[in-house]
Amino acid sequence: MKFHLSVLLVLVTLFSCREEPPVKMNVLFIAVDDLRPDIGAYGNPYIQTPHLDRLAATGTLFESHFVQVPTCGASRCSILTGLLPKTTKHLSNAALEEFISDAPEGSVPESVVHHFRRNGYRTVGIGKISHSVDGLLYGYRESPEGARPEMPYSWDEFLFDPDKWGTGWNAFFGYADGSNRQEKDGQVPPYEMADVDDRGYPDGIMADMATDKLKELSEQQAPFFLSVGFFKPHLPFNAPKKYWDLYQRDRIPLSRVKDLPENVHLSSLQRMGEFNQYRLGDEQATLEAAISDDYARKLIHGYYASVSYVDAQIGKVLDELERLGLAENTLVVVWGDHGWHLGDHRVWGKHTIFDVALRSPLIIRYPGSKSRKIPSDQVVSSVDLYPTLADLCGLPVDFPLDGQSLGGLIQHGSDPDRTNRSFSYFNKGISMRTDRYRLTRYFREEQPNIELYDHQEDPYESVNIAQKRPDVVEQLMVEWKTGDTGLYTPQ
Ligand SMILES: [Ca+2]
Protein backbone atom coordinates (compact mmCIF):
# COMPACT_ATOMS: atom_id res chain seq x y z
CA MET A 1 0.00 0.00 0.00
CA LYS A 2 2.82 2.40 0.99
CA PHE A 3 4.57 1.66 -2.28
CA HIS A 4 1.46 2.40 -4.26
CA LEU A 5 0.96 5.71 -2.46
CA SER A 6 4.53 6.77 -3.19
CA VAL A 7 4.16 5.94 -6.86
CA LEU A 8 0.93 7.85 -6.91
CA LEU A 9 2.58 10.87 -5.27
CA VAL A 10 5.43 10.80 -7.78
CA LEU A 11 2.97 10.53 -10.62
CA VAL A 12 0.90 13.41 -9.24
CA THR A 13 4.05 15.51 -8.88
CA LEU A 14 5.17 14.73 -12.44
CA PHE A 15 1.69 15.42 -13.76
CA SER A 16 1.61 18.76 -11.92
CA CYS A 17 4.97 19.77 -13.40
CA ARG A 18 3.82 19.01 -16.90
CA GLU A 19 0.53 20.84 -16.39
CA GLU A 20 2.10 23.96 -14.88
CA PRO A 21 0.68 26.76 -17.03
CA PRO A 22 3.26 28.88 -18.83
CA VAL A 23 3.94 32.27 -17.25
CA LYS A 24 1.54 34.70 -18.83
CA MET A 25 2.91 37.84 -20.38
CA ASN A 26 1.93 41.14 -18.77
CA VAL A 27 0.58 44.01 -20.84
CA LEU A 28 1.45 47.69 -20.47
CA PHE A 29 -0.81 49.74 -22.72
CA ILE A 30 -0.02 53.45 -22.96
CA ALA A 31 -2.51 55.71 -24.74
CA VAL A 32 -1.38 59.21 -25.68
CA ASP A 33 -4.03 61.78 -26.50
CA ASP A 34 -3.90 63.54 -29.88
CA LEU A 35 -0.35 62.37 -30.63
CA ARG A 36 0.48 62.49 -34.32
CA PRO A 37 3.66 60.75 -35.51
CA ASP A 38 5.83 63.73 -34.54
CA ILE A 39 8.41 61.48 -32.94
CA GLY A 40 12.10 61.12 -33.77
CA ALA A 41 11.62 57.43 -34.56
CA TYR A 42 8.93 58.37 -37.10
CA GLY A 43 11.35 60.61 -38.96
CA ASN A 44 10.83 64.05 -37.38
CA PRO A 45 14.45 65.22 -37.01
CA TYR A 46 13.59 68.23 -34.88
CA ILE A 47 11.30 66.96 -32.15
CA GLN A 48 12.88 65.56 -28.97
CA THR A 49 11.39 62.22 -27.93
CA PRO A 50 14.33 60.13 -26.67
CA HIS A 51 12.20 57.70 -24.65
CA LEU A 52 9.76 56.85 -27.42
CA ASP A 53 12.73 56.54 -29.78
CA ARG A 54 14.32 54.08 -27.37
CA LEU A 55 11.13 52.01 -27.21
CA ALA A 56 10.86 52.01 -31.01
CA ALA A 57 14.48 50.85 -31.28
CA THR A 58 13.62 47.72 -29.28
CA GLY A 59 10.12 47.08 -30.64
CA THR A 60 8.01 47.16 -33.78
CA LEU A 61 7.09 50.54 -35.22
CA PHE A 62 4.17 50.72 -37.65
CA GLU A 63 4.74 53.52 -40.17
CA SER A 64 1.20 53.41 -41.58
CA HIS A 65 -1.11 53.02 -38.64
CA PHE A 66 -4.58 54.58 -38.99
CA VAL A 67 -7.29 55.08 -36.41
CA GLN A 68 -10.93 54.33 -37.18
CA VAL A 69 -12.39 57.65 -35.98
CA PRO A 70 -10.48 60.95 -35.53
CA THR A 71 -11.99 61.85 -32.18
CA CYS A 72 -11.03 60.68 -28.69
CA GLY A 73 -14.00 58.65 -27.43
CA ALA A 74 -14.87 56.91 -30.67
CA SER A 75 -11.27 56.05 -31.54
CA ARG A 76 -10.76 54.55 -28.10
CA CYS A 77 -14.04 52.68 -28.47
CA SER A 78 -12.80 50.96 -31.63
CA ILE A 79 -9.43 49.97 -30.16
CA LEU A 80 -10.98 48.74 -26.89
CA THR A 81 -13.86 46.78 -28.47
CA GLY A 82 -11.96 45.59 -31.56
CA LEU A 83 -14.98 46.63 -33.63
CA LEU A 84 -15.60 49.13 -36.40
CA PRO A 85 -18.32 51.73 -35.81
CA LYS A 86 -21.81 50.39 -36.57
CA THR A 87 -23.99 53.46 -36.02
CA THR A 88 -23.56 57.24 -36.04
CA LYS A 89 -23.41 57.20 -32.23
CA HIS A 90 -20.26 55.11 -32.49
CA LEU A 91 -18.57 58.16 -34.06
CA SER A 92 -19.11 60.30 -30.98
CA ASN A 93 -17.42 60.58 -27.61
CA ALA A 94 -20.35 58.55 -26.18
CA ALA A 95 -19.42 55.60 -28.42
CA LEU A 96 -18.25 53.27 -25.69
CA GLU A 97 -21.28 53.90 -23.52
CA GLU A 98 -23.44 52.99 -26.50
CA PHE A 99 -21.50 49.77 -27.16
CA ILE A 100 -21.56 48.70 -23.54
CA SER A 101 -25.27 49.23 -23.11
CA ASP A 102 -25.63 46.80 -26.05
CA ALA A 103 -23.32 44.21 -24.50
CA PRO A 104 -24.24 43.38 -20.93
CA GLU A 105 -22.03 41.33 -18.62
CA GLY A 106 -22.19 37.65 -19.49
CA SER A 107 -22.13 37.88 -23.27
CA VAL A 108 -19.15 39.26 -25.19
CA PRO A 109 -16.57 41.06 -23.00
CA GLU A 110 -17.11 44.81 -23.03
CA SER A 111 -13.49 45.51 -23.95
CA VAL A 112 -10.10 43.93 -24.51
CA VAL A 113 -9.34 44.81 -20.89
CA HIS A 114 -12.40 42.89 -19.73
CA HIS A 115 -11.33 39.93 -21.87
CA PHE A 116 -7.93 39.87 -20.16
CA ARG A 117 -9.58 40.22 -16.77
CA ARG A 118 -11.81 37.24 -17.48
CA ASN A 119 -8.66 35.30 -18.31
CA GLY A 120 -7.03 35.83 -14.95
CA TYR A 121 -5.27 39.16 -15.45
CA ARG A 122 -5.26 41.86 -12.84
CA THR A 123 -6.42 44.96 -14.71
CA VAL A 124 -5.53 48.48 -13.63
CA GLY A 125 -6.35 51.73 -15.42
CA ILE A 126 -4.82 55.16 -14.81
CA GLY A 127 -6.04 58.29 -16.64
CA LYS A 128 -7.64 58.52 -20.07
CA ILE A 129 -8.00 55.01 -21.49
CA SER A 130 -11.58 55.16 -22.67
CA HIS A 131 -13.08 58.58 -23.26
CA SER A 132 -13.42 59.29 -19.56
CA VAL A 133 -10.29 60.56 -17.81
CA ASP A 134 -11.03 59.07 -14.41
CA GLY A 135 -13.05 56.00 -15.43
CA LEU A 136 -16.35 57.73 -14.70
CA LEU A 137 -19.14 58.80 -16.97
CA TYR A 138 -20.43 62.29 -16.47
CA GLY A 139 -20.78 65.52 -18.37
CA TYR A 140 -17.98 68.06 -18.42
CA ARG A 141 -19.80 70.51 -16.20
CA GLU A 142 -21.62 68.10 -13.90
CA SER A 143 -20.64 66.99 -10.46
CA PRO A 144 -18.94 63.59 -10.19
CA GLU A 145 -21.50 62.58 -7.60
CA GLY A 146 -23.63 59.78 -8.90
CA ALA A 147 -21.22 59.12 -11.75
CA ARG A 148 -21.04 55.55 -13.01
CA PRO A 149 -18.06 53.73 -14.52
CA GLU A 150 -17.60 54.03 -18.28
CA MET A 151 -16.39 50.40 -18.49
CA PRO A 152 -18.11 48.74 -15.50
CA TYR A 153 -16.61 45.25 -15.95
CA SER A 154 -13.11 45.95 -17.21
CA TRP A 155 -11.08 47.18 -14.26
CA ASP A 156 -10.03 45.58 -11.01
CA GLU A 157 -8.83 49.03 -10.09
CA PHE A 158 -9.07 52.47 -11.65
CA LEU A 159 -6.86 55.30 -10.39
CA PHE A 160 -6.82 59.01 -10.93
CA ASP A 161 -5.70 61.92 -8.78
CA PRO A 162 -7.42 65.19 -9.80
CA ASP A 163 -5.06 67.04 -7.42
CA LYS A 164 -5.56 70.82 -7.36
CA TRP A 165 -8.08 70.69 -10.22
CA GLY A 166 -10.71 68.82 -8.16
CA THR A 167 -12.27 66.60 -10.85
CA GLY A 168 -11.02 64.52 -13.74
CA TRP A 169 -12.37 66.75 -16.48
CA ASN A 170 -11.09 69.91 -14.81
CA ALA A 171 -7.64 68.30 -14.62
CA PHE A 172 -7.88 67.34 -18.27
CA PHE A 173 -8.26 71.00 -19.28
CA GLY A 174 -6.08 72.19 -16.40
CA TYR A 175 -3.62 75.06 -16.10
CA ALA A 176 -0.72 75.22 -13.64
CA ASP A 177 -2.54 77.54 -11.21
CA GLY A 178 -5.31 74.97 -10.71
CA SER A 179 -7.76 76.70 -13.08
CA ASN A 180 -9.34 75.02 -16.10
CA ARG A 181 -11.05 75.84 -19.35
CA GLN A 182 -14.54 75.06 -18.06
CA GLU A 183 -14.65 77.42 -15.12
CA LYS A 184 -13.27 80.24 -17.23
CA ASP A 185 -15.82 79.56 -19.96
CA GLY A 186 -13.14 79.31 -22.60
CA GLN A 187 -11.45 82.59 -21.59
CA VAL A 188 -8.07 80.83 -21.67
CA PRO A 189 -5.25 80.47 -24.19
CA PRO A 190 -4.58 77.17 -26.03
CA TYR A 191 -1.06 76.95 -24.54
CA GLU A 192 0.84 77.59 -21.31
CA MET A 193 4.51 77.59 -20.34
CA ALA A 194 4.63 77.54 -16.54
CA ASP A 195 7.89 77.19 -14.66
CA VAL A 196 6.74 74.11 -12.72
CA ASP A 197 8.04 70.58 -12.27
CA ASP A 198 6.51 67.55 -14.00
CA ARG A 199 3.83 67.26 -11.32
CA GLY A 200 2.63 70.78 -12.10
CA TYR A 201 0.37 69.23 -14.75
CA PRO A 202 -1.59 65.95 -14.55
CA ASP A 203 0.68 63.74 -16.71
CA GLY A 204 3.54 64.02 -14.19
CA ILE A 205 1.21 62.89 -11.42
CA MET A 206 -0.02 59.97 -13.53
CA ALA A 207 3.54 58.85 -14.33
CA ASP A 208 4.27 58.64 -10.59
CA MET A 209 1.05 56.69 -9.99
CA ALA A 210 2.00 54.28 -12.76
CA THR A 211 5.49 53.62 -11.40
CA ASP A 212 4.12 53.07 -7.88
CA LYS A 213 1.51 50.68 -9.24
CA LEU A 214 4.13 48.76 -11.24
CA LYS A 215 6.06 48.15 -8.00
CA GLU A 216 2.96 46.73 -6.38
CA LEU A 217 2.03 44.60 -9.40
CA SER A 218 5.56 43.19 -9.59
CA GLU A 219 5.04 41.64 -6.16
CA GLN A 220 1.83 39.83 -7.16
CA GLN A 221 1.42 36.41 -8.71
CA ALA A 222 -1.25 37.24 -11.30
CA PRO A 223 -0.23 38.66 -14.68
CA PHE A 224 -1.26 42.29 -15.10
CA PHE A 225 -2.82 44.50 -17.75
CA LEU A 226 -1.79 48.03 -16.78
CA SER A 227 -3.13 50.83 -18.88
CA VAL A 228 -1.97 54.44 -18.59
CA GLY A 229 -3.64 57.24 -20.55
CA PHE A 230 -1.61 60.45 -20.76
CA PHE A 231 -3.38 63.74 -21.62
CA LYS A 232 -0.80 65.66 -23.61
CA PRO A 233 -0.41 66.75 -26.35
CA HIS A 234 -4.20 67.25 -26.27
CA LEU A 235 -5.22 70.93 -26.07
CA PRO A 236 -4.38 73.09 -24.20
CA PHE A 237 -0.69 72.76 -25.14
CA ASN A 238 0.41 73.19 -21.52
CA ALA A 239 3.81 71.88 -20.50
CA PRO A 240 6.49 72.78 -17.95
CA LYS A 241 8.89 75.47 -19.20
CA LYS A 242 11.87 73.10 -19.35
CA TYR A 243 10.21 71.27 -22.26
CA TRP A 244 9.51 74.51 -24.13
CA ASP A 245 13.18 75.37 -23.58
CA LEU A 246 14.22 72.33 -25.64
CA TYR A 247 13.25 74.20 -28.79
CA GLN A 248 14.23 77.36 -30.62
CA ARG A 249 10.98 78.75 -31.90
CA ASP A 250 12.40 80.24 -35.09
CA ARG A 251 13.61 76.79 -36.10
CA ILE A 252 10.20 75.13 -35.62
CA PRO A 253 9.06 73.74 -38.98
CA LEU A 254 5.67 74.80 -40.31
CA SER A 255 3.22 72.53 -42.11
CA ARG A 256 4.23 71.47 -45.61
CA VAL A 257 0.61 71.73 -46.74
CA LYS A 258 -0.65 75.04 -45.37
CA ASP A 259 -3.17 75.73 -48.15
CA LEU A 260 -6.62 74.31 -48.63
CA PRO A 261 -6.55 71.17 -50.77
CA GLU A 262 -7.72 71.61 -54.36
CA ASN A 263 -11.14 70.34 -55.54
CA VAL A 264 -12.46 69.80 -52.03
CA HIS A 265 -15.70 70.99 -50.48
CA LEU A 266 -14.98 73.06 -47.38
CA SER A 267 -17.34 70.95 -45.28
CA SER A 268 -14.65 68.24 -45.40
CA LEU A 269 -12.50 70.54 -43.25
CA GLN A 270 -14.66 72.92 -41.31
CA ARG A 271 -14.90 71.39 -37.83
CA MET A 272 -12.50 73.59 -35.85
CA GLY A 273 -14.79 74.12 -32.89
CA GLU A 274 -12.56 72.62 -30.26
CA PHE A 275 -9.61 74.85 -31.07
CA ASN A 276 -11.73 77.98 -31.04
CA GLN A 277 -13.06 77.11 -27.58
CA TYR A 278 -9.79 78.62 -26.35
CA ARG A 279 -10.87 82.20 -26.78
CA LEU A 280 -7.67 83.87 -25.62
CA GLY A 281 -5.67 82.54 -28.54
CA ASP A 282 -3.57 85.21 -30.25
CA GLU A 283 -5.59 84.71 -33.45
CA GLN A 284 -8.73 82.75 -34.31
CA ALA A 285 -8.31 79.80 -36.67
CA THR A 286 -10.54 79.85 -39.75
CA LEU A 287 -10.50 78.20 -43.14
CA GLU A 288 -10.90 81.55 -44.88
CA ALA A 289 -7.44 82.85 -44.01
CA ALA A 290 -4.37 81.14 -42.58
CA ILE A 291 -3.11 82.36 -39.21
CA SER A 292 0.27 84.13 -39.21
CA ASP A 293 3.44 82.06 -39.40
CA ASP A 294 4.54 83.52 -36.05
CA TYR A 295 1.44 82.30 -34.27
CA ALA A 296 1.57 78.95 -36.08
CA ARG A 297 5.15 78.52 -34.82
CA LYS A 298 4.12 79.39 -31.29
CA LEU A 299 1.33 76.77 -31.35
CA ILE A 300 3.55 74.09 -32.86
CA HIS A 301 6.17 74.97 -30.24
CA GLY A 302 3.51 74.29 -27.58
CA TYR A 303 2.59 71.00 -29.23
CA TYR A 304 6.23 69.90 -29.41
CA ALA A 305 6.83 70.90 -25.76
CA SER A 306 3.76 68.85 -24.78
CA VAL A 307 5.05 65.86 -26.76
CA SER A 308 8.49 66.07 -25.10
CA TYR A 309 6.79 66.37 -21.70
CA VAL A 310 4.68 63.25 -22.28
CA ASP A 311 7.71 61.45 -23.72
CA ALA A 312 9.59 62.07 -20.45
CA GLN A 313 6.64 60.67 -18.44
CA ILE A 314 6.53 57.55 -20.62
CA GLY A 315 10.28 57.23 -20.04
CA LYS A 316 9.70 57.08 -16.26
CA VAL A 317 7.22 54.22 -16.66
CA LEU A 318 9.49 52.29 -19.06
CA ASP A 319 12.50 52.79 -16.77
CA GLU A 320 10.57 51.43 -13.81
CA LEU A 321 9.45 48.42 -15.85
CA GLU A 322 13.13 47.77 -16.60
CA ARG A 323 14.29 48.37 -13.03
CA LEU A 324 11.75 45.91 -11.65
CA GLY A 325 12.88 43.22 -14.08
CA LEU A 326 9.47 43.16 -15.75
CA ALA A 327 10.48 44.28 -19.24
CA GLU A 328 11.31 40.78 -20.42
CA ASN A 329 7.85 39.53 -19.62
CA THR A 330 5.73 42.55 -20.48
CA LEU A 331 4.29 43.43 -23.84
CA VAL A 332 4.38 47.22 -24.25
CA VAL A 333 2.09 49.22 -26.53
CA VAL A 334 2.25 52.96 -27.18
CA TRP A 335 -0.67 54.27 -29.19
CA GLY A 336 -1.78 57.75 -30.27
CA ASP A 337 -5.58 57.97 -30.43
CA HIS A 338 -5.48 59.95 -33.71
CA GLY A 339 -3.46 62.56 -35.56
CA TRP A 340 -3.88 66.35 -35.61
CA HIS A 341 -3.79 69.15 -38.16
CA LEU A 342 -1.12 71.60 -36.99
CA GLY A 343 -2.24 74.12 -39.59
CA ASP A 344 -2.24 71.44 -42.28
CA HIS A 345 -4.96 72.36 -44.81
CA ARG A 346 -5.52 75.47 -42.63
CA VAL A 347 -7.06 73.28 -39.93
CA TRP A 348 -6.10 73.37 -36.24
CA GLY A 349 -7.85 70.27 -34.98
CA LYS A 350 -8.53 66.61 -35.62
CA HIS A 351 -12.05 66.17 -36.95
CA THR A 352 -11.32 65.32 -40.58
CA ILE A 353 -10.73 62.11 -42.49
CA PHE A 354 -7.49 63.21 -44.08
CA ASP A 355 -4.29 61.26 -43.41
CA VAL A 356 -2.98 63.88 -41.02
CA ALA A 357 -5.93 63.36 -38.64
CA LEU A 358 -6.06 59.58 -39.03
CA ARG A 359 -2.42 58.54 -38.90
CA SER A 360 -0.95 58.10 -35.44
CA PRO A 361 1.95 56.28 -33.79
CA LEU A 362 1.71 52.61 -32.94
CA ILE A 363 4.75 50.99 -31.33
CA ILE A 364 4.57 47.48 -29.88
CA ARG A 365 7.41 45.80 -28.02
CA TYR A 366 6.88 42.06 -27.80
CA PRO A 367 9.70 40.56 -25.73
CA GLY A 368 11.77 38.08 -27.68
CA SER A 369 10.84 39.56 -31.03
CA LYS A 370 13.46 41.42 -33.00
CA SER A 371 13.02 45.16 -33.47
CA ARG A 372 11.74 46.31 -36.83
CA LYS A 373 9.96 49.05 -38.71
CA ILE A 374 6.88 47.95 -40.65
CA PRO A 375 7.13 50.16 -43.76
CA SER A 376 4.49 52.57 -44.98
CA ASP A 377 3.24 50.25 -47.73
CA GLN A 378 1.80 47.97 -45.03
CA VAL A 379 -1.40 49.56 -43.73
CA VAL A 380 -2.58 48.66 -40.22
CA SER A 381 -5.49 49.82 -38.06
CA SER A 382 -6.24 50.54 -34.41
CA VAL A 383 -8.94 47.90 -34.53
CA ASP A 384 -6.16 45.33 -35.05
CA LEU A 385 -4.81 45.75 -31.52
CA TYR A 386 -7.41 43.64 -29.68
CA PRO A 387 -6.77 40.47 -31.73
CA THR A 388 -3.02 41.21 -31.57
CA LEU A 389 -2.93 41.30 -27.78
CA ALA A 390 -5.08 38.17 -27.51
CA ASP A 391 -2.89 36.38 -30.06
CA LEU A 392 0.47 37.30 -28.51
CA CYS A 393 -0.70 36.58 -24.96
CA GLY A 394 -2.37 33.29 -25.93
CA LEU A 395 -5.95 34.22 -25.05
CA PRO A 396 -8.68 32.51 -27.07
CA VAL A 397 -11.24 34.71 -28.83
CA ASP A 398 -14.51 32.93 -29.66
CA PHE A 399 -16.52 36.00 -30.63
CA PRO A 400 -16.29 38.21 -33.71
CA LEU A 401 -13.78 41.04 -33.97
CA ASP A 402 -13.25 43.32 -36.97
CA GLY A 403 -9.45 43.56 -36.89
CA GLN A 404 -6.63 41.17 -37.75
CA SER A 405 -3.73 40.24 -35.48
CA LEU A 406 -0.46 42.06 -36.09
CA GLY A 407 1.38 39.07 -34.60
CA GLY A 408 2.78 37.92 -37.96
CA LEU A 409 4.19 41.36 -38.75
CA ILE A 410 5.68 41.69 -35.27
CA GLN A 411 7.28 38.24 -35.25
CA HIS A 412 8.26 37.80 -38.89
CA GLY A 413 8.09 41.26 -40.49
CA SER A 414 5.49 40.19 -43.02
CA ASP A 415 2.10 38.48 -43.15
CA PRO A 416 0.72 37.45 -46.55
CA ASP A 417 -2.75 36.87 -45.08
CA ARG A 418 -3.29 40.47 -44.04
CA THR A 419 -5.56 42.76 -46.03
CA ASN A 420 -3.78 45.98 -46.84
CA ARG A 421 -6.45 48.59 -46.19
CA SER A 422 -7.91 50.62 -43.34
CA PHE A 423 -11.37 52.19 -43.03
CA SER A 424 -12.01 55.39 -41.09
CA TYR A 425 -15.19 57.34 -40.42
CA PHE A 426 -16.29 60.89 -39.57
CA ASN A 427 -18.14 63.94 -40.72
CA LYS A 428 -20.66 61.96 -42.81
CA GLY A 429 -17.82 60.27 -44.58
CA ILE A 430 -16.05 56.95 -44.84
CA SER A 431 -12.50 56.74 -46.07
CA MET A 432 -10.43 53.78 -47.22
CA ARG A 433 -6.64 53.93 -47.14
CA THR A 434 -4.58 51.50 -49.19
CA ASP A 435 -0.80 51.39 -49.54
CA ARG A 436 -1.01 54.06 -52.26
CA TYR A 437 -4.40 55.78 -52.22
CA ARG A 438 -6.94 57.35 -49.94
CA LEU A 439 -10.52 57.15 -51.26
CA THR A 440 -13.09 59.12 -49.27
CA ARG A 441 -16.85 59.06 -49.85
CA TYR A 442 -19.10 61.66 -48.23
CA PHE A 443 -22.73 60.81 -47.80
CA ARG A 444 -24.04 64.38 -47.94
CA GLU A 445 -25.75 66.55 -50.46
CA GLU A 446 -22.98 68.94 -51.42
CA GLN A 447 -20.69 67.99 -54.28
CA PRO A 448 -18.16 66.63 -54.91
CA ASN A 449 -18.80 63.68 -52.65
CA ILE A 450 -15.78 61.61 -53.59
CA GLU A 451 -12.16 62.46 -52.89
CA LEU A 452 -9.12 60.58 -54.11
CA TYR A 453 -5.52 61.20 -53.09
CA ASP A 454 -2.49 59.50 -54.57
CA HIS A 455 0.17 59.22 -51.89
CA GLN A 456 2.83 58.27 -54.39
CA GLU A 457 2.47 61.63 -56.14
CA ASP A 458 0.98 63.74 -53.38
CA PRO A 459 1.97 62.58 -49.88
CA TYR A 460 0.28 65.53 -48.15
CA GLU A 461 -3.11 65.15 -49.84
CA SER A 462 -3.10 68.55 -51.52
CA VAL A 463 -5.14 67.70 -54.65
CA ASN A 464 -8.33 65.67 -54.91
CA ILE A 465 -7.98 63.75 -58.19
CA ALA A 466 -11.28 61.82 -58.08
CA GLN A 467 -12.62 63.61 -61.19
CA LYS A 468 -9.36 63.18 -63.07
CA ARG A 469 -8.90 59.48 -62.31
CA PRO A 470 -12.31 57.72 -62.48
CA ASP A 471 -10.47 54.51 -63.44
CA VAL A 472 -8.67 54.45 -60.06
CA VAL A 473 -11.90 55.27 -58.21
CA GLU A 474 -13.61 52.37 -59.96
CA GLN A 475 -10.80 49.95 -59.17
CA LEU A 476 -10.76 51.05 -55.52
CA MET A 477 -14.52 50.67 -55.25
CA VAL A 478 -14.11 46.98 -56.07
CA GLU A 479 -11.57 46.72 -53.28
CA TRP A 480 -13.86 48.71 -50.99
CA LYS A 481 -16.68 46.21 -51.46
CA THR A 482 -14.36 43.29 -50.80
CA GLY A 483 -13.23 44.89 -47.57
CA ASP A 484 -16.70 46.02 -46.53
CA THR A 485 -17.43 44.20 -43.28
CA GLY A 486 -20.88 45.65 -42.82
CA LEU A 487 -20.01 49.34 -42.88
CA TYR A 488 -22.95 51.50 -42.08
CA THR A 489 -23.80 54.55 -44.17
CA PRO A 490 -23.65 57.83 -42.25
CA GLN A 491 -26.97 59.74 -42.35
CA1 LIG B 1 -7.73 62.32 -28.67
For the stretch 338-359, pLDDT in tens is 999 999 999 999 999 999 999 9
Q: Is the peptide bond before 236 cis (omega within 30 degrees of 0)?
A: yes
**Stretch 319-341: mean pLDDT:** 98
pLDDT of amino acid 468: 98
Of 66-75, 215-224, 266-275, 382-391, give the lowest mean pLDDT range: 266-275
Domain at 24-413: CATH code = 3.40.720.10
Q: How confident is the model at residue 490 (pLDDT cuts 50, 70, 90)?
A: low
Distance 62 CA to ligand 1 centre (A): 19
Per-residue pLDDT reduced to its tens digit, 270-322: 877 788 899 999 998 999 989 999 999 999 999 999 999 999 999 999 999 99
The pLDDT confidence band at residue 486, using thresholds 50, 70 and 90, is low
Q: How sure is the predictor about 325, in pLDDT bands with cuts at 50, 70 and 90?
A: very high
How long is the chain? 491
Contact 389, 109 (CB under 8 A): no
Q: Which of 10-24, 268-282, 365-379, 433-447 has the highest mean pLDDT?
A: 365-379
For residues 178-186, give the mean pLDDT. 91
Q: Which pLDDT score is estimated for 427?
A: 79
Type of residue at 454: D
User: For residue 298, which of 191, 371, 374 has the smallest C-alpha distance?
Assistant: 191
pTM score of the predicted model? 0.93
77 is catalytic: no
**Ligand 1 centre and the CA of 133: distance in Å?**
11
Neighbouring CB atoms inside 10 A of 124's CB total: 22
| pLDDT at residue number 226 | 98
Of the listed ranges 16-25, 204-213, 298-307, 407-416, the one predicted with least confidence? 16-25
User: Which band of pLDDT confidence, cut at 50, 70 and 90, is reported for residue 481?
Assistant: confident
Question: Which residue of the set 51, 72, 115, 393 is catalytic?
Answer: 72
Q: What is the mean pLDDT of residues 8-32?
A: 68
CA of 31 from ligand 1 middle (Å) equals 9
Q: Which pLDDT does position 439 carry in this prediction? A: 97
Residue 72 annotated to the active site: yes
At 12 the pLDDT is 44
Query: What is the CA(247)–ligand 1 centre distance, in A?
Result: 24
Q: With bands split at pLDDT 50, 70 and 90, how would you rate the model's confidence at 106?
A: low
* 467 Cα to the center of ligand 1, angstroms: 33
Q: Span 366-394, mean pLDDT?
A: 97
Average pLDDT over residues 423-427: 91
Nearest one of 221, 193, 239 to 24, comparing CA atoms? 221
pLDDT band at residue 11 under the 50/70/90 scheme: very low
The residue annotated as part of the active site, out of 65, 90, 115, 131, is 131
Mean pLDDT of 38-59: 98
pLDDT band at 146 (very low <50, low <70, confident <90, very high): low
pLDDT at 8 over 60: no
**How confident is residue 142, by pLDDT bands cut at 50, 70 and 90?**
low
**Ligand 1: distance of its center to the CA of 226 in Å?**
20
Whole-number average pLDDT of the chain: 91
Closest alpha carbon to 137 in 156, 118, 158: 158
In this model, does residue 7 exceed pLDDT 80?
Answer: no
Residue 443 has pLDDT above 90, yes or no: no
The answer to whether residue 15 scores a pLDDT higher than 60 is no
Q: What letters, b where the CB count within 10 A reaches 16 and e where it falls short, cover 402-414?
A: bbbbbbbbbbeee
Q: What is the pLDDT of residue 380?
A: 98
How many Å lie between the centroid of ligand 1 and the Cα of residue 34?
4
Least confident of 79-83, 256-260, 323-327, 478-482: 478-482
Q: What is the CA(96)–ligand 1 centre distance, in A?
A: 14
Q: Any idea which of 94-98, 169-173, 441-445 has the lowest mean pLDDT?
A: 94-98
